[in-house]
Structure 1
Amino acid sequence: MYGDVEAEFEDIMEIPMTQQPAPTQKNKSESITKKVVKTGGIDFQSENIRNDYQKIRAILPKYDAYIENENQTKSDQRINYNLTIRVPSIGYDTLYSLLSSFGIRLNNKYSNIEDVTARYYDLKSRITNKKALEQRYVELLKKASLIKDILEIERNLNEVRTDIERLQGQFNYLSKQVNLSTINVSFYEILPYVYDSSQRTGFWARIFSALDNGWQGFLSFLVGVTTLWPFVFLIIAGIYLYRKFRSKRKS
């Protein structure tokens, strides 16, 4: 009994952890369905951005779609909306075409289709094979009796389970991208210019404002002159001494 366990353990230990086990045999009747990731983008100008926003929200349930992210910005000139819409891939084309008809001017649109069939089934196969290897380690762990063998099996079992978790995460993300297409919608409304009546000033208000500005300028001039008084004093004193000196020479 121990010899069989030891031999089986050594056989499994000889498999490098980075090497994938041989792919499992697929049923010949199993057909490989093409897997694609669809991503689109639309940018348009809206005449009434609130109405278009409400219309978009209203049509989404018809296609089992939803807004994953949305962002609104506003300035004095325009309002912007950015929506990330997720829709089941079967309804992508229809919804994309419908959203492209919104607005008074379509600025830009794009649609990309990425074939991920090979990556999808590769991940699926690797997960299946890793789980098969995991089961072999579990069965072997039940039979092991030596401490060193138990520790070695548990170490390898943990590595396999870590690989499974990583691959499963990649597969789940890719599956979501395949099942739910993405449409990025950006639209904006140009706001009309609004004259600010508070900035309007009448004739007399402008007169008083001009007088006030002139008075403030005069005061500023006096302040400036006052700061120069030491230099003025020196100039006056110099002129006085110069004249006094000249008068003495003449006499």
Structure 2
Amino acid sequence: MRPYCYLVVPAMTFYACSAGNSSYEATLDSTTVASESNSYTKAVETAAQAGEEVPALNSPARKHVRTADVNVRVANVFSAATTLEHVTKGMDGYVVESTLSNELGAAQDIPYKGDSMKHVQLYTAIANLTLKVPAAQLDSLVSTLNNVAVFVSTRTLKDDDKTLEYLKNFMKNEEPLTPVAVTKKSDPLQTATYQDEKKDEKVERKIANFAILDDANYATLKVQLSQSEQADVQIVVNPESVTRARFGTELLTALSTGTTALRNVVLFFLQLWPFVLLAIAGVIGYRKLASKKVVVAPSKTEN
């Protein structure tokens, strides 16, 4: 058996006894933290007696972080989401996040009456939930989800063992900080910065262990709920019938439009006067040339 295994038991016992000193530990329930550390200490001691360095894989003292990610289709998204939220609270869990939204599809306007129409909008209701329940209740919550599901698209269950990471952080924190001696050649500012960084690293490792304990005690379930595409039908006003002018107004508008069209035609032909002059000149020139040819032709026949 390796020597450092003997150091784990007193080190973790000391950590468990001092778990309620800081304000952050008190916020996380210092009694729970101490009991977690004590149970793990006993497990390490038992494993050491059996010639092992860490508890067995099936030991309850190991820090297993359980998560689940499920994507299902249900008959009614709102009803299923409400059911899961109530069941979660009944298991002494809590809802981290719950969002409901609609993904819009194709839309079409269908004539209904003279002044109205049907607006048909296709949509798909979607809900995204993030739930946390005691780790032992995760399977029950997943079973409840399976009962309300019509079709399961994907389901992913994970069990991440954080035991070694937890033990590594704990053992590093139990090592006392070695003060750095300040000499004439050393920079006091750099020395103070180094010591502060070491203290911050110790605090971060301690917080990381609290996070591991929290995740090990409460499993996380992420759910995406969806339902079949639905149609939202509304009777809306026909914009064309509402905005159309009266007959008299349309008659005056038509007369004005016709006058404008006639004016545009006249102006268009007036703009072509150079081409008209060229055409007239061409016709006159052609006729003169034709008449000269007619006069010259008889004189040749007489000779």
Q: TM-score, normalised by structure 1?
A: 0.65
For the structure 1 residues 230 and 43, does the alpha-carbon distance in structure 2 shift closer, same or farther, using more than 3 Å as the test?
farther
For the structure 1 residues 228 and 78, does the alpha-carbon distance in structure 2 shift closer, same or farther, using more than 3 Å as the test?
farther
Equivalent residue runs for 1:1-251 within 5 Å: 25-27=7-9, 30-31=42-43, 32=55, 33-74=61-102, 75=104, 76-129=122-175, 133-134=176-177, 137=179, 154=192, 157-189=195-227, 190-192=229-231, 194=233, 229=269, 232-251=272-291
Paired residue type of 1:191? Q
Summarize deviations over 1:130-185 as a string: whole Å, max 9, x none: xxx13x64xx99xx9x9999x59755542331221222232233332222211111
CA distance in 2, matches of 1:241, 1:192: 73
List runs of 5+ in structure 2 lacking aligned partners.
11-40, 44-54, 56-60, 105-121, 248-253, 292-303
Q: Rg larger in 1 or in 2? A: 2
CA distance in 2, matches of 1:108, 1:224: 68
CA distance in 1, matches of 2:290, 2:169: 115
Q: CA deviation at 1:27?
A: 2.7
Paired residue type of 2:284? K
**Could you tell me whether the CA contact under 8 Å between 1:71 and 1:83 is conserved in 2?**
yes
Paired residues in the alignment total 210
Q: TM-score, normalised by structure 2?
A: 0.56
For the structure 1 residues 108 and 101, does the alpha-carbon distance in structure 2 shift closer, same or farther, using more than 3 Å as the test?
farther
List runs of 5+ in structure 1 lacking aligned partners.
1-21, 209-214
CA distance in 2, matches of 1:100, 1:226: 79
**Could you tell me whether the CA contact under 8 Å between 1:23 and 1:125 is conserved in 2?**
no
For the structure 1 residues 102 and 237, does the alpha-carbon distance in structure 2 shift closer, same or farther, using more than 3 Å as the test?
farther
Higher RCO, 1 or 2 (CA under 8 Å, sep at least 6)?
Answer: 1
Identical counterparts, % of pairs: 14
CA RMSD of aligned residues (A): 4.0
Which structure shows the higher strand fraction? Answer: 2
